[in-house]
Structure 1
């Protein structure tokens, strides 16, 4: 539990006092009441107190310190806590309308719900739905950054309650770097730049989640629908349409896109692109006077012979036979 990560993120709030800074002796008989009362006094409505229970020790004091920063509609908290247990989310009313991401720098969080358990030690992060009731335990000397995103603005699989990832993964590193940079320069950003930073944060977060939950039964159909809609819009206009461009547009990895098609589609990504181009070309073959060579160029085939070969393989007859029929 004493493990730490060397990467320092940022200190929020600058030289300002923390939004919450409480010390309660463990030996105090009324320690839980004192903690909650002081939390409510300091945090108010902007930082509501979850139900908390302190362990009983004969010496020492429990310490909690929270610094906050608001990046447009995205709250970020720098949290330090000694050993404590509590509940959050669901009917406890503590940011139940948010998706929370815990980026742990030292110590450990443990979350448990009726459906899932997650341990979030130093160097890992956890994304969880906060509308689900969670019990949690915090190890002594735990520091984490907590990002809250509005649940209505992100796509999170309905039957997945939490996902974890290593902070060293590429998607996690991108998200953390974006948050750190945005926090550092936020005071100097104009409205347009701040909105662009917000949108980029949502996209990087979605990419992180998508990479982690590709096997989810709810996510894969949604990914395929989005991919097919994107492909359909660009069949004719984009001669360079390929798997990488599609994946980048959907904010997922190429591997994730390939796996999605492999699980639920009847063809590969580019196989689907070619099939749709052939089907659209067949409609024009029988409804226009475009030549085979013109159709081949229009639908981005290398030449007429490649088009004829692909057409016959897909439909079982030549373009000439289709037009004659």
Structure 2
């Protein structure tokens, strides 16, 4: 089972009394095929049970699927937070409410997991080494957690947190949008149904529910990447280029494959690259030629046919023509001249 998790945080409307009595408190279940008990739940009540009890319960019921930060005693002293978490396959759903401000300064695992924060009431501020990212009421934020160093939650915040495996989506762009969007409401509605019916589901039903969560998050990402692409162009292009660079030797590397891995439409990917003046396919071809160029000049020297096959050119003739257009010489002549 993939133990790296992403987080989706959603705050719910409603007043929070100091005792947190209006927090949803219906039975919640947890599924984890790797655990002895397939279903269970963990409760958070810092005023009555303390943080240590929650951490122990989380370890027993949730496991390492979504790691908790190392809360400092001074940071949690006096905090009044209530909540409940349950597991759906390798997804984790947590409802919580805080009657007091919460500030956490901790080192988080740098797993680049995906997190979606949706704030209807209260506020959430994510702190990174070089910036703080606020999530205002009525908005959501979707991005990777790389470099997260802490967070602040305002008093009166209610939230739902849905954790998904980091590998479930390859979206790398930062996305914002309204919390009331239809795609977000659909996601929350599905989470509610899963919480209410999890105890009665078969293992196959749990897997289907988990997969539906992933697809609903994908729907949020695709909707707002398409709608907000002018602001996301630079981030999307950077992420797509980095992914392409890792896959240059893969025969399946195409614009369509990149779009699928990044959870965006092919149209969105093409339009983002259009703003740079270099189409997606042109970037892939150029980077393959540059990698092939370096291989030709490496100690020991690759043969032209080996380079062509390794970097997925159709054949040696096709590679030689492309290389000559780019570097002005055939690969064999270029390598021979540079070595002499």
In 2, Cα distance between equivalents of 1:265 and 1:92? 36
In the other structure, the counterpart of 1:261 is 270
Per-residue CA deviation, residues 198-225 of structure 1 (Å, 9 max, x unaligned), is 22221221232234444221456789x7
Q: Is 1:92 matched up with 2:108? A: yes
Determine helix, strand or coil for the equivalent of 1:62.
Answer: coil
Q: Is 1:108 matched up with 2:123? A: yes
In 2, Cα distance between equivalents of 1:153 and 1:109? 24
Normalising by structure 1, we get a TM-score of 0.54
In the other structure, the counterpart of 1:182 is 194
CA distance change for structure 1 residues 172 and 219 in 2, over 3 Å: closer, same or farther?
Answer: farther
> Which structure: larger Rg?
1
Asked if structure 2 preserves the Cα contact closer than 8 Å seen for 1:20 and 1:43, the reply is no
CA distance change for structure 1 residues 111 and 188 in 2, over 3 Å: closer, same or farther?
Answer: same
Higher relative contact order structure (alpha carbons within 8 Å, sequence separation ≥ 6): 2
CA distance change for structure 1 residues 111 and 156 in 2, over 3 Å: closer, same or farther?
Answer: same
Residue of 60, 73, 85 corresponding to 1:68 = 85
In 1, Cα distance between equivalents of 2:180 and 2:255? 28
Total equivalences in the alignment: 227
Asked if structure 2 preserves the Cα contact closer than 8 Å seen for 1:102 and 1:144, the reply is no
CA distance change for structure 1 residues 185 and 132 in 2, over 3 Å: closer, same or farther?
Answer: same
CA distance change for structure 1 residues 10 and 203 in 2, over 3 Å: closer, same or farther?
Answer: farther
In 2, Cα distance between equivalents of 1:177 and 1:36? 29
Asked if structure 2 preserves the Cα contact closer than 8 Å seen for 1:103 and 1:146, the reply is no
In the other structure, the counterpart of 2:208 is 196
In 2, Cα distance between equivalents of 1:149 and 1:113? 21
In the other structure, the counterpart of 2:155 is 140
CA distance change for structure 1 residues 150 and 87 in 2, over 3 Å: closer, same or farther?
Answer: farther
Determine helix, strand or coil for the equivalent of 1:5.
Answer: coil
